[in-house]
Chain A
Amino acid sequence: MNNRLKVLRAERNWSQADLAAALGVSRQTVNALETGRYDPSLPLAFKIARVFEQPIESIFSDTGA
């Protein structure tokens, strides 16, 4: 699964630690999400969408689709 987390974070001048704090996860988890090597659970994906104030489908895209 691809995502635009790194772009969205950069647009807001947030560090990984800032985003981690907003999501309530570790910086390592944010890094794993941004590299696309860890797919978030549905609750975390919704939380990410709320933090960036965007719909989930504009943040995540299914590479298999």
Chain B
Amino acid sequence: MTMMEARLSERPLARYGRVIGASLIAGGIAGGVAAAFGNRAGAGPLIVAGATGLAMAVGIWVCARWWRDLDEAAREAHKWAWYWGSTFGGALGGVVLFTLAYGAEAFLTAEPKDLLIGGAAIIGLSQMVGYGVAWAVWWLKRR
């Protein structure tokens, strides 16, 4: 074959795993900085904002590089998963969130900060799970 071109989208799962790994490391560092400096008076919130902003920037940069090398079918799978998987996951997370908010006594005594982060985590995690399931469904239907 003469038209050999650079292989794009090789080992998509491994590439996706590296993106998730890099994002988790960046998020973990930001979380560590937040835990260490977040409660300090004065510059604490600013340090958290800076660390979180840097982690988000790293995550977006990694995602942009990864997205650039995806082929069109892989992009379509992620777009479909983003729309349907994240929507269904978020909806399910919303049911869990409201059920916990009105059904679990422990939440009535929780700190506002914990409630805020916990609620966001429930929705975010639900969306990620939905995204992963929808992505797998897209590819399984096209095997």
Listed in ascending order, the chain A residues whose CB lies under 8 Å from chain B are 12, 14, 18, 20-26, 28-29, 31-33, 35, 37-38, 40-41, 44, 50-51
Chain B, interface SS category: loop
The CA-CA distance from A14 to B4 in the complex, in Å, is 12
Q: Are A25 and B73 in contact (CB under 8 A)?
A: yes
- Contacts A18-B1, A28-B74 given; 14 further ones with Cβ under 8 A? A20-B7, A21-B4, A21-B7, A22-B1, A22-B3, A25-B71, A25-B72, A26-B71, A28-B9, A28-B73, A28-B139, A29-B71, A32-B73, A32-B142
Chain B 1-31, CB-CB to A under 8 Å as 1, else 0, gives 1011111111010000000000000000000
Chain B 113-143, CB-CB to A under 8 Å as 1, else 0, gives 0000000000000000000000000010111
Number of interface residues of B (CB under 8 A): 19
Listed in ascending order, the chain B residues whose CB lies under 8 Å from chain A are 1, 3-10, 12, 71-74, 76, 139, 141-143
Can you give 11 contacting A-B residue pairs, CB < 8 Å? A18-B1, A22-B3, A25-B73, A26-B73, A28-B9, A29-B71, A29-B74, A32-B73, A35-B142, A38-B142, A50-B3
